[in-house]
Amino acid sequence: MSENFEPKALAFLCNWCSYAGADLAGVSRFQYPPTIRVLRTMCSGRVEPLYITEGLKSGFDGVFVFG
């Protein structure tokens, strides 16, 4: 693994809380690493185990579920 390894993460965000929180981070101009890719769901409860394995299989280094 190279020294500059930057993990690329997939994040499932709940429309009502964490997605709103991510927007607020933007409004507040909080800076964070640009290696996260977000998918919005209507609830974190929508996230099936399959989505997580599929995310890892398709090349993401990690998967977040925020809700």
Partner 1 sequence: MSENKKSSTGAVMIVGGGIAGTQAALDLAESGFFVYVVESSSTIGGVMAQLDKTFPTNDCSMCILSPKLVECGRHLNIRLMTMSEVEKVEGEAGNFVVSVRERPRFVDAEKCVACGICAEKCPKKVKDLFNGGLGVRKAAYVEYPQAVPLKYVLDEQNCIYLKNGKCRACEKFCPTGAIDFSQKEKVHQIEVGSVVLAPGFKSFDPSSMDTYGYGKYPNVVSSLEFERILSASGPFEGHLERPSDRKAPEKIAWLQCVGSRDSHPNAHGYCSGVCCMYAIKEAVIAKEHAKQGLDTAIFFMDMRTYGKDFERYYDRARQEAGVRFIRSRIHSISTAAPGSDDLRIEYVDENGTMRVEIFDMVVLSTGLEVSRDARALAQRLAIELDSGGFAKTNSFSPIAASRPGIFVCGAFSGPKDIPSSVMEASAASAASAALLADSRNSLTRSKTYPPEDPSVHAEPRIGVFVCRCGVNIASVVDVPGVRDYARGLPNVAYVAENMFTCSQDTQKLIIEAIKEHRLNRIVVAACTPRTHEPLFQQTIREAGLNPYLFEFANIRDQDSWVHQGEPEKATAKAKDLVRMAVAKAALLEPIEKLQAPLIQTALVIGGGVAGMNAALNLSAQGFKTCLLEKRDELGGHALEVARTWKGEDVSAYVAELKQRVLADANVEVLTGAELVEAGGFVGQFTSLVKVGGGHREIRHGAVILATGAEAVEPVEYLYGQSQRVTRWHDLEKLFKKEPELLDSAEGVAFIQCVGSREPERPYCSKICCTTSIKQAIDLKEKKPDLDVYILYRDIRSYGAREDLYKKARGLGVLFIRYNADEKPVVAKTSVEGKEKLKIRVRDHVLGFPVELTVDYLNLATAIVPKGLDELARFFKVPLNQDGFFLEAHMKLRPVDFATDGVFVAGLAHYPKPLDESVAQAGAAAARAASVLSKPWVEVEPIVSIVNQELCIGCGMCEANCPFGAIRLQEVKGKGYRAETISASCKGCGVCAASCPQRAIDMKHFRDSQILAAIRVGAGGGA
Tokens of 31: 């800076």
CB of 49 to partner 1, least distance (A): 8
Site for partner 1 contains 51 (CB under 8 A): yes
Binds partner 1 (CB under 8 A): choice among 5, 19, 64, 66: 19
Please calculate the CA angle 31-12-23 and round it to the nearest 5 degrees: 40
CB of 5 to partner 1, least distance (A): 15
Site for partner 1 contains 30 (CB under 8 A): yes
CA distance 56 to 42: 22
Task: Give the amino acid at 39.
Answer: L
Number of neighbours of residue 17 by Cβ within 10 angstroms: 13
Contacting positions for partner 1 (CB under 8 A): 8, 10, 15, 19-32, 34-35, 37-43, 45-48, 50-51, 54-55, 58-60
